[in-house]
């Protein structure tokens, strides 16, 4: 099956269940399908959040339960994520699991030792801070995963695959992770959750204005490491150079703009970013990715992964440029480079 066929097969059945508004005291089937509190450590139960909206959506054969907490955080059911990665152990296992040798509690889909070198520090920190939530009416306390962590989890498998560290039984999980990133890059997981839970009908209208508004934030976000070290290692290899983080040549910035940012919405998103990022005098306020919302980061991370995989397959920068431009001109496949057409 081609990549496009696999993507279509996965992304076509994005089905929403009718949302139920817990804020108005309505019970939902999801309220009775959450993990019991018996396995949750008492010290975490002092910080149980309240889910004001609930719903579910389907990706392929998988039903993903999702919630919006009172503070606006979008959460995925931990058990749903386990099923998504074909893990047999659910939320109870997540809590019972002992710390690994690095001192991190890891869900079973990230616990294999060959994956750990590919888990970034930000994801490790997030995994040490699980979210416990309950619905307003009839809901037991359950363990959830911040929806914004899902692309990072998917990227773990892609990095491990690229490094040749996957076992044969894990290859299909990397393929699943790649398709998930593509599906969420097209739809946006936040938008998907908001539609499934009905939160889109009550969130601020300002969040819906403009073609690119959901991908941007009007306030510059704190810096997060976005381009992995191997991205620049591959750039060095292609150019036959050796550079450091504080001493990258100007051509690297041009490369990133051309192959990454210009491919987000046919360059339209980059234009919007620059309106925020440059002062009237022409000074840069920060990095381009600091003006992206979480959905915008989904697009960016997916494009970075695509470019990185193409770089690893090329001999030098000339070979890369020829291959890159040929792919863009040949079919302009939306699942490869144009996520927002």
Work out the pLDDT band at 186, boundaries 50, 70, 90.
low
CA distances 185 to 100, 115, 180, 299, Å, are 32, 23, 8, 5
Q: Under a CB-based contact definition with an 8 Å cutoff, are residues 17 and 196 in contact? A: yes
CA distance 278 to 25: 47
pLDDT at 207 > cutoff 80: no
Q: Taking residues 306-332, what's their average pLDDT? A: 86
Q: Which residue has the tokens 């919302």?
A: 293
Four-CA torsion 275, 286, 183, 28, nearest 10 degrees: -100
pLDDT more than 70, % of the chain: 70
Q: Is the pLDDT of residue 190 over 80?
A: no
pTM recorded for the entire structure: 0.51
Q: Answer whether residue 142 shows pLDDT above 80.
A: yes
pLDDT of residue 330: 54
Task: State pLDDT tens for residues 105-132.
Answer: 688 889 899 999 999 888 888 888 889 9
Give Cβ neighbours of residue 173 (< 8 Å, ≥ 6 apart).
Answer: 85, 86, 109, 157, 166
| Tens of pLDDT, residues 154-164 | 999 999 999 99
Residue 41: per-residue pLDDT: 43
């Amino acid at each position: 099956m081609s990549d496009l066929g696999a993507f279509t097969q996965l992304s076509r059945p994005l089905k929403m269940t009718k949302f139920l508004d817990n804020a108005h005291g309505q019970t939902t089937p999801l309220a009775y399908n959450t993990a019991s509190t018996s396995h949750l450590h008492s010290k975490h139960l002092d910080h149980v959040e309240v889910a004001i909206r609930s719903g579910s959506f389907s990706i392929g054969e998988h039903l993903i339960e999702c919630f919006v907490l009172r503070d606006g955080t979008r959460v995925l059911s931990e058990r749903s994520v386990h099923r998504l990665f074909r893990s047999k152990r659910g939320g109870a296992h997540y809590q019972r699991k002992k710390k690994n040798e690095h001192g991190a509690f890891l869900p079973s889909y990230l616990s294999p030792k060959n994956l750990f070198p590919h888990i970034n520090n930000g994801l490790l920190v997030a995994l040490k801070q699980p979210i416990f939530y309950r619905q307003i009416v009839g809901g037991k306390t359950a363990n959830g995963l911040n929806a914004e962590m899902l692309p990072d989890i998917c990227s773990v498998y892609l990095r491990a695959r690229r490094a040749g560290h996957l076992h044969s039984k894990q290859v299909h999980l990397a393929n699943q992770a790649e398709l998930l990133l593509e599906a969420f890059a097209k739809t946006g997981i936040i938008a998907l959750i908001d539609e499934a839970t009905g939160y889109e009908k009550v969130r601020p209208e300002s969040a819906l204005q403009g073609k690119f508004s959901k991908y941007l934030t009007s306030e510059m976000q704190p810096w997060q490491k976005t381009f992995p070290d191997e991205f620049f290692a591959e750039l060095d290899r292609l150019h036959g150079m050796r550079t450091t983080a504080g001493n990258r040549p100007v051509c690297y910035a041009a490369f990133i703009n051309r192959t990454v940012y210009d491919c987000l919405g046919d360059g339209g998103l980059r234009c919007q970013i620059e309106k925020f990022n440059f002062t009237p005098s022409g000074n840069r306020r920060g990095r381009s990715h600091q003006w992206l919302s979480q959905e915008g980061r989904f697009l960016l991370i997916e494009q970075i992964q695509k470019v990185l995989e193409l770089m690893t397959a090329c001999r030098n920068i000339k070979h890369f440029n020829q291959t890159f431009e040929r792919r863009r001109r040949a079919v302009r496949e939306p699942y490869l480079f144009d996520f927002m057409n």
